[in-house]
Amino acid sequence: MTTTIETSGPARGEWADDLEELAQRRAIAHAHGGEEQVARHHAAGKLTARERIDHLLDAGSFKEIGALAGGVKYGADRRRESFTPSNAVVGIGRIEGRRAVVAADDFTIRAGSSEGSVSEKWIFADRYAWEYKLPIVRLIDSAGGSVKLLDKLGHTKIPGYPLLPMTQLLGAVPVVGIALGACAGLGALRVASSHLAIMIRGKSQIFAGGPPVVKQALGMEIDKEALGGYDAMHRFSGTVHLAVDSEEEALQATRRFLSYLPANVWEQPPRIACEDPVDRRDPWLDRAIPADKRKIFQPRRILSAIFDQGSVFEMSPDFGGSVITCLARLDGHAVGVMTNNPMVMGGALTRAAALKMARFVDLCDTFHLPIVNLADQPGVMTGPDAEREGTLAAAMQALNAIEQSGVPWLAIVLRRCVGLAGAMLSPWHGPSGTALPNRYAWPSARWGSIPVEGGVAAAYKKDIAAAEDPVAHRLELEAHYHAISSPMRTAERFGVLDIVEPSATRPLLCAWVEDAVRVTARRLGPVGRTMR
């Protein structure tokens, strides 16, 4: 972004002095914290606030608001002696031609701290996004608050900002928060309160209170990365949905994420041109699932083979890894996609995976994205650790999110569909609340209340022990029940709509998505709930 500040030239009439003062203040604001601070910022491998905005928005589209806000010291002659700009840069621009609000912290001015900000600026940005129903991107690089702010205020206050529509935004417009440094307190909250939270590996951290606060409260020595880095915030807590290696990658991911979503819940998700044939069939899919049940398969390759080429955008890949959640496209239409990952915990529904599913279903339901579930679900994770950490409670949260969703679903059982987790294949109703669910299966699918092997071992424990050849008797019983559990028998009773050749999956989904988007067009508006 290049801004020309006119500070000289022909006289501008009787307002020349005022226009000159205005130009000088804008020039100071655009210099951020000054040459030395900007150089130090660049040396740390970081972009300035306005450089970040340049990378995010369409070229030349940013219109800044409030560049003149800040602290001014006046002399005895009532003229400006110094001007320190606010460390919040806000405004409106375009992303792929669509209007969006941006609020960026300027770390070169008092480390982005709220002590040096004019909070009304980023409150205005949030409220503008809320009032005008536009997406908002928050570029957070804030060291948090400071006790020194009390001297500035002269009093304390109950925490919070009553005019900040943080929760309302989540039910109305897409919100992205990017952690671009150490984000504490309110900065951490502004990152986490989003539909897509992103952090930079090794360069950004998120925590309610930083290491000095932890030491004072708990007597514990800990560094920023161990406290709120990639492992803590992405892999284990799931606070952020995406961890990337550079600021540029984070900003590009933001542009891509927003391309799947409408500007607000009163609009439909945009459709893009698609050159990938709707009748494309990948023969590899017919052999994607091994006949040997002990062998795993490649779920991400299956997704690439079915959805529009290059359209899969995965969210929270390292959190709750036994389930994969992603945005993708079918014939140019945006959809939400879930599938199990047998490479992690055998695909079992862990507490983290259940929370991840609930959050993802809420996202899709909020923004009217039809959902495709490609299931290989062996059941809810069990064992003493899983039970103690509340896996069943989290599974029920995911189940509730699924049953409350009002978008169209299409589910295909790829391999296993067992127990409570198997019951979460899709809602038991259609979008209208009355239609039967759209459920299909591949020939490799098997389902039931419990796995055959475990069920046989429990139900025939005494018989197997008493048999002349216990192993042979157990295998005979398992073969008997496996035959009964063939998906063909369920299809005979219309328990699934059809058994689909795997290579025919894309044509099936592309035909269905035409009907699905018609349904979502009839339900535009808020769904009455936000993120979990």
Q: What is the pLDDT of residue 114?
A: 63
Q: Which of 367, 349, 305 is nearest to 170 (CA)?
A: 367
pLDDT at res. 1? 46
Give the span between the Cα atoms of 142 and 109, in whole angstroms: 10
The answer to whether the beta carbons of residues 202 and 219 sit under 8 Å apart is: no
Distance CA 323, CA 381 (A): 12
Which residues are CB-contacts of 252 (< 8 A; sequence separation ≥ 6)?
55
The residues pairing with 74 across neighbouring beta strands, listed in sequence order, are 80
Task: For residues 174 and 315, give the distance between their C-alpha atoms in angstroms, rounded to a whole number.
Answer: 15
Q: How many CB atoms lie within 10 A of CB 59?
A: 10
| DSSP per-residue codes, 135-158 | -EEEEE------TTHHHHHSS---
Please provide the size of the chain in residues: 532
| CA distances from residue 234 to 238, 252, 325, 461 in whole angstroms, order as listed | 5, 19, 14, 43
Neighbours of 39 (CB within 10 A): 11
**Tell me, what DSSP letter sits at residue 61?**
-
- In 3D space, the residue among 516, 506, 242, 485 whose CA is nearest the CA of residue 374 turns out to be 506
Judge contact between 408 and 372, C-beta under 8 A: no
Q: What is the pTM of this model?
A: 0.90
Report, as ranges of residue numbers, the positions in the chain whose pLDDT lies below 70. Answer: 1-12, 112-117, 143-153, 155-162, 432-435, 449-450, 528-532
State both tokens at 366: 């909020």
- How far CA 518 is from CA of 237, 254, 268, 369, in Å, comes to 37, 27, 10, 11
User: How far is 426 from 434, CA to CA, in rounded Å?
Assistant: 14
Dihedral of the alpha carbons of 165, 359, 314, 420, in degrees to the nearest 10: -170
pLDDT of residue 160: 67
Contact 250, 178 (CB under 8 A): yes
Cβ–Cβ < 8 Å for 99, 62:
no
d(CA 426, CA 423): 8
Q: Tokens for 306, please give them.
A: 């079915």
**Helix, strand, coil % in the chain, rounded to nearest 5:** 40, 20, 40
Closest CA to 225 of 197, 204, 199, 200: 204
